[in-house]
């Protein structure tokens, strides 16, 4: 499986890191070795001094496809969850300054914490949108609403599948809302869709 991540998909988050809002979705990949599953702990990596959390809605691809039209995109995912795109922000800043790729900041071992997947219909609020949030040590640090995404799930699947064939089991990280921040050793993160806890992760 592969993990496809979307950057700057919420205007308020792009603003907090002084980034322009992209005209097209900004994509990067994480390999399967980046997965952190089953609420496993994350060991603070030795190569960064500024580890950040980014909570995101995840889509699990259930059918192979490429060049998918937005109107058919719903057929390609049945389940959603929440995850944390752990980012070495100090290294990402250096990569950006030099115009280098982001993988060493974003795609290292266990940098993609993946929650329990639930049927997409169960994830929606009464308006048909997904509300999600992240708690750090029992305090809410990020709150998001899928309707605030710059590019919708269906448009993302369509765009991504022009470049990368989507395979059953692939996971899309759909971007983080505002409120990203620093991770410290000992922190405990818990991520929710609505009131349902789908992921916990302790930093060791
Ligand atoms: Mg992210």
- Interval 105-122: pLDDT, tens: 999 999 999 999 999 999
Whether the per-residue pLDDT at 148 is higher than 90: the answer is: yes
190: CB partners within 8 A, 6+ apart: 134, 135, 138, 197, 199, 200, 201
Q: How many residues are recorded in the chain? A: 204
CA 54–ligand 1 middle distance (angstroms) = 6
- Give residue limits of the domains in the chain: 3-202
Cα–ligand 1 centroid distance for 122 (angstroms): 24
Distance CA 10, CA 122 (A): 23
Distance 9 CA to ligand 1 centre (A): 9
What is the CATH code for 3-202?
Answer: 3.90.850.10
Structure tokens at 82: 């929440």
* Per-residue pLDDT tens over the stretch 56-94: 999 999 999 999 999 999 999 999 999 999 999 999 999
Distance from Cα 94 to the centre of ligand 1, integer Å: 17
In angstroms, the CA 192 to CA 55 distance is 9
**34 falls in which pLDDT band (50, 70, 90)?**
very high
DSSP 186: T
Distance between start and end Cα atoms, the chain = 26
Spatial contact of 103 and 87, defined as CB atoms under 8 Å apart: no
Separation of CA 5 and ligand 1 centre (Å): 7
Task: List beta partners, residue 166.
Answer: 65
Q: Is 95 a residue whose pLDDT tops 90?
A: yes
The confidence score (pLDDT) of residue 15 equals 85
CA distance 76 to 153: 11
Distance 36 CA to ligand 1 centre (A): 15
């Amino acid at each position: 499986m592969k993990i496809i991540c979307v950057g700057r998909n919420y205007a308020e988050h792009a603003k907090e890191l002084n980034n322009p809002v992209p005209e097209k979705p900004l994509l990067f990949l994480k390999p399967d070795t980046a997965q952190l599953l089953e609420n496993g702990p994350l060991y603070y990596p030795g190569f960064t001094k500024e580890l950040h959390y980014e909570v995101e809605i995840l889509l699990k691809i259930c059918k192979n496809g490429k060049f998918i039209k937005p109107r058919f995109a719903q057929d390609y995912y049945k389940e959603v969850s929440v995850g944390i795109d752990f980012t070495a922000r100090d290294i990402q800043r250096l990569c950006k300054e030099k115009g280098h790729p982001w993988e060493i900041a974003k795609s290292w071992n266990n940098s993609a914490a993946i929650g329990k997947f639930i049927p997409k219909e169960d994830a929606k609020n009464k308006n048909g949108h997904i509300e999600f949030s992240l708690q750090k040590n029992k305090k809410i640090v990020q709150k998001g609403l899928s309707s605030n995404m710059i590019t919708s799930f269906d448009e993302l699947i369509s765009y991504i599948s022009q470049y990368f064939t989507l395979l059953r089991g692939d996971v899309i990280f759909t971007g983080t809302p505002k409120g990203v921040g620093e991770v410290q050793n000992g922190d405990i993160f818990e991520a929710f869709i609505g009131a349902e806890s789908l992921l916990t992760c302790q930093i060791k």
